[in-house]
Amino acid sequence: MVRRLYELAGTDPARRFSPYCWRARMALAHKGLEADCAVWRFTEGEAIAFSGQDKVPVLVDGDSAVADSWAIARYLEERYPDRPALFPAGVAAARFVTAWADGVLNAALVRLIVSDIPPLLDEPAQAYFIRSREARFGQPLAEVTAGREARLPEFRQKLGPMRAVVSEQPFLGGDAPDYRDHAVFGGFQWARVVSPLDLLAADDPVFLWRERMLDLYGGLARATPALGD
Amino acid sequence: MVRRLYELAGTDPARRFSPYCWRARMALAHKGLEADCAVWRFTEGEAIAFSGQDKVPVLVDGDSAVADSWAIARYLEERYPDRPALFPAGVAAARFVTAWADGVLNAALVRLIVSDIPPLLDEPAQAYFIRSREARFGQPLAEVTAGREARLPEFRQKLGPMRAVVSEQPFLGGDAPDYRDHAVFGGFQWARVVSPLDLLAADDPVFLWRERMLDLYGGLARATPALGD
């Protein structure tokens, strides 16, 4: 049976950097499922047109094709119920954390790292990325991230909800990770792959949690080429 | 056995407005526990000195005295395990939501409503409140809340994580509320009691969730005198 995850990459096919693709990759590893992790680039819409939309991650699992990281996680939990649970505390707990990661964490991260991304892309993808992101932010990407070191304290302050939990236990899921951890980790791994910016102080419980996440599944995420620590 | 909850009130003893006291009140009702809800005002530190600190809520439950809303919830869950669970999805899920309510929701609310509070307080409490809050914000309270109607879209946008959940199910806890709901509701009830500001659009899933919260336990929270809707 074919199992393939289409993942966003830069010019270097090893540089997988989408926060949402990382959620899917970690969810597959959590379930102990092997997958062919296929390279996809911003300008290759036709390669995933079969999935009915134009963004990755897309998972092909035998006869099923599932797009969107949340839908992929829900699919994996339903399709493989006998493997380690992604939602042991209920779907709603993970939905809250995932929405927080989307709207707070990733929204803050993009304003710290977006200008680091174009140099990692090949020319057509670079042109698309710059045009679409400058339209979104209404300013050049270098201006979006200007003064970012000075904004790190504000960024770190926003991590309060997750810090409150991982100060008291190893993972958001408890002694072991669950989808809440993967949803949040996607953003940190995105930043780590594309940017040299030191997001976290080494004595931050969130830093120590990230180290534990990087160690999971034989160091899966740590093995990816990265610019950050 | 004596069971007493010390709650912050304004000049009108019926006007209980602390977001953290509301968490404790709702947690008691969730457990089906009766309590004498005693009035406490900002300048009455000596009345709760027995608890070892100077803030409400303070719960006296027989021989136990517990301060701090989170500690009270944990105490109630441990002391009354046979009554409806406050943490059915685990403590960590509630810890995350509670920390979000503290650092995002309540931090945003105070900048919308703080200037509504002094007129509700008697003179010594009013003087204390204005002095301490102006020191915290570094400006007069009327300036803190200036232009608040224009800031409502930004406030509503911050509710994304909870909106994602209550769009799909009645409560953060699922079909029934749990401590995640009470932790968040405290902030909304605080605002409702002290401020005429319409925080939520009537078609917002968060508005509909708040209506369900106001209906709980025989309309416990709805019965409190309020300035908001």
pLDDT in tens, B111-144: 999 999 999 999 999 999 999 999 999 999 999 9
Q: Domain end: A79, A100, A130, which one?
A: A79
Residue A205 lies in a domain: yes
Give me B101's structure tokens.
Answer: 């309510």
The domain that holds A8 is classified in CATH as 3.40.30.10
Give me B152's structure tokens.
Answer: 């409502």
Cβ–Cβ of B104/A102 closer than 8 Å?
Answer: no
Can you tell me the distance from the alpha carbon of B170 to that of B106, in angstroms, rounded to the nearest whole number?
22
Residue A31 lies in a domain: yes
What lies within 8 Å, CB to CB, of A136 at 6+ separation is none
* Helices assigned H by DSSP within chain A: 19-30, 69-79, 91-100, 107-113, 123-137, 141-144, 148-158, 160-166, 179-194, 205-219
Which of B152 and B50 is assigned the larger pLDDT?
A: B152
Cβ–Cβ of A92/B161 closer than 8 Å?
Answer: no
Closest approach of A76 to chain B, Cα-based (Å): 20
Same domain, A117 and A16: no
Give me A161's structure tokens.
Answer: 């909800």
Q: B59 in contact with A at a CB cutoff of 8 Å?
A: no
Total domains in chain B come to 2
Report yes or no: A93 and B93 within 8 Å, Cβ to Cβ.
yes
Supply the pLDDT for residue A229. Answer: 77
Express each pLDDT in A134-192 by its tens digit: 999 999 999 999 999 999 999 999 999 999 999 999 999 999 999 999 999 999 999 99
Lowest mean pLDDT among A79-83, A224-228, B139-143, B167-171: A224-228
CA distances from B57 to B12, B48, B178 (A): 18, 10, 19
Cβ–Cβ of B161/A96 closer than 8 Å?
Answer: yes
Report yes or no: B76 and B119 within 8 Å, Cβ to Cβ.
no
Residue A227 lies in a domain: no
The domain that holds B123 is classified in CATH as 1.20.1050.10
Q: Domain end: A49, A79, A109, which one?
A: A79
Quick one: CA dihedral A86, A87, A89, A93, positive or negative? positive
- Average pLDDT of the residues in A58-74: 96
What lies within 8 Å, CB to CB, of B25 at 6+ separation is B5, B7, B16, B37, B57, B220
List CB contacts (< 8 A) between A100 and chain B.
Answer: 96, 100, 160-161
Report yes or no: B171 and B162 within 8 Å, Cβ to Cβ.
no
Supply the pLDDT for residue B215. Answer: 98
What lies within 8 Å, CB to CB, of B152 at 6+ separation is B112, B197, B198, B199
Same domain, B151 and B209: yes
Express each pLDDT in A190-215 by its tens digit: 999 999 999 999 999 999 999 999 99
Can you tell me the distance from the alpha carbon of A67 to that of A207, in angstroms, rounded to the nearest whole number?
30
Tell whether the model's pLDDT for residue B229 goes beyond 80: no
> Helices A19-30 and A69-79: crossing angle, nearest 10°?
10
Q: A104 in contact with B at a CB cutoff of 8 Å?
A: yes
- Average pLDDT of the residues in A223-227: 92
ipTM associated with this complex: 0.91
Q: What percent of chain B has pLDDT over 90?
A: 92
Express each pLDDT in A1-43 by its tens digit: 899 999 999 999 999 999 999 999 999 999 999 999 999 998 8
